[in-house]
Amino acid sequence: MIKQIFIVCALFLTICISACGGGSDAAKTTAIYDAPASSVPVPADGQMGGAVQGSAFAAKFSNYSVSTFAGKAGATGSTPGGLSTARFNQPVGIATDGTYLYVADTANNRIRKINITTQEVVNLAGSGLAGYADSTGDTGETATFNAPSAITVSGDYLYVADTGNNMIRRVHKVTGKTNRYAGSSSGEAGAVDSRTAPGDVRFYEPTGITTDGVDLYVADSGNHTIRRIVIASAPASTAGAVTTLAGYPRTPGNADGGLAADRSSSTARFNQPARLTTDGTFLYVTDYLNRTIRRIAITTGAVVTIAGVSGSLSFENVADGSGDKARFYHPNGITTDGTYLYLTDSFNNSIRMIANPTGPSSSVQVTTIIPAITGGIGGSNDGSGARAQFYTPIGITTDGSALFVTDSHNHTIRKIESR
């Protein structure tokens, strides 16, 4: 378990995950497959899956600017405050509702909240200790997390992939009050789906989460699967139905496909899917160890590879181009503005853009926007052009006018916008 968290979360070299819960997952590998839900249109407010959509990010990528939005490069901590005083410790997941950014500050075991306008950072949930405890009152700072690594927004709540606890948590985005939403309270890992009892559900190191406003979709990395959680009809304190949409538990591989005719299994295979986003019709998944981008039709569960080729070995093989001409090193975070996909190629320390993601693979175009491909050298420089540098960027989201990135090994939140 520890090794997989290190790999999928882009080698958190200083995170101590030895405190992770988890326990045995023997005899917990039975999955129940079911038909996926219908797709839904982008909400009127343009917010879906923790990103603002419907207004394509306007940056001209020969004329962009990168700045440090919150935190200080090289300085770790959990101090709240403004741009010059706030500190993070290997932040990973990030989402927005257009007014605030919400950050899974992984090594701090906290959920942070940032006002985009004032740039004020507060500790919303988490005591800073690694473990599992839910909030008992109207504050979330009594809750404990264990290496939370992904976050999404739906209505009044945040949903968090609490990776080290093998569960999904729900956090009120104003009070921070936290509860277990799906998964075992003991942190037991497994691959069990359930239509009724949330305590019977099992995940194995979930690292990605998004929503179309009706369902949650989870990249269950240790199981090599994509899971679905119904949230629209779920009771306030319990999880909804959990099913496996794509992939097969504990069976890594690289195969496109879909649900079988009898809905009993999926023929698609993944290799530690890391994170995912949605436009309401498709899910887009960074298939971390396959080094590819996968697309899943929500209504059918059909999986296709739209960019990259499984087996790209290092940053030396990274290349832009169409479909299978493109190469990635370790694609990780991903978001969409409704038109383009934006993703972090973590170990190449770069930000990539994908045009025409809904088309056939041959028409999908991958471009490196920051920096120009220079061998994956990391750094913390702000600025434009080749000057801008990242150091293991992971999470990425958009508020409709800029991109925000968790620059994990710089311990900062970075902002990309048009000049």
Q: Region 167-176: what's the mean pLDDT?
A: 96
Kindly state the DSSP code that residue 36 receives in the 8-state scheme: P
Whole-number pLDDT of residue 372: 60
Whole-number pLDDT of residue 216: 96
Residue 267 pLDDT more than 50?
Answer: yes
Whole-number pLDDT of residue 386: 76
Q: What is the secondary structure of 318-370 as a DSSP string?
A: -B-EEGGG-B-S-EEEEEE-SS-EEEEEGGGTEEEEEE-TTS-GGG-EEEEEE
Whole-number pLDDT of residue 373: 55
In this prediction, residue 292 has a pLDDT band, given cuts at 50, 70 and 90, of very high
Whole-number pLDDT of residue 115: 97
Lowest mean pLDDT among 229-233, 349-353, 373-377: 373-377
Whole-number pLDDT of residue 13: 34
Q: Region 217-234: what's the mean pLDDT?
A: 89
Lowest mean pLDDT among 166-170, 175-179, 234-238: 234-238
In this prediction, residue 419 has a pLDDT band, given cuts at 50, 70 and 90, of confident
Q: Region 246-260: what's the mean pLDDT?
A: 94
- Interval 73-119: pLDDT, tens: 999 999 999 988 999 999 999 999 999 999 999 999 999 999 999 99
Lowest mean pLDDT among 25-29, 97-101, 185-189, 309-313: 25-29
* Top-confidence residue, 358 or 21: 358
Whole-number pLDDT of residue 233: 56
State the SS3 of the chain: CHHHHHHHCCCCCCCCCCCCCCCCCCCCCCCCECCCCCCCCCCCCCEECCEECCCCCCCCCCCEEEEEEECCCCCECCCCECCCCCCECCEEEEEECCCEEEEEEHHHCEEEEEECCCCCEEEEECCCCECCECCCCCCECCCEECCEEEEEEECCEEEEEEHHHCEEEEEECCCCCEEEEECCCCCCCCCCCECCCHHHCCCCCEEEEEECCCEEEEEEHHHCEEEEEECCCCCCCCCCCEEEEECCCCCCCCECECECCCCCCECCECCCEEEEEECCCEEEEEECCCCEEEEEECCCCCEEEEECCCCCCCHHHCECEEHHHCECCCEEEEEECCCCEEEEEHHHCEEEEEECCCCCHHHCEEEEEECCCCCCCCCCCCECHHHCCCCCEEEEEECCCCEEEEEHHHCEEEEEEEC
In this prediction, residue 198 has a pLDDT band, given cuts at 50, 70 and 90, of low
In this prediction, residue 371 has a pLDDT band, given cuts at 50, 70 and 90, of confident
70 within 8 A of 405, measured Cβ to Cβ: no
Residue 15 pLDDT more than 70?
Answer: no
Whole-number pLDDT of residue 18: 35
Whole-number pLDDT of residue 44: 79
* Top-confidence residue, 32 or 216: 216
Residue 41 pLDDT more than 60?
Answer: yes
* Top-confidence residue, 113 or 60: 113
Residue 314 pLDDT more than 80?
Answer: no
- Interval 43-55: pLDDT, tens: 878 899 999 998 8
CA distance 193 to 243: 5
For the chain, what is the mean pLDDT?
A: 87
Whole-number pLDDT of residue 222: 98
Whole-number pLDDT of residue 42: 75
pTM: 0.92
293 within 8 A of 286, measured Cβ to Cβ: yes
Kindly state the DSSP code that residue 42 receives in the 8-state scheme: P
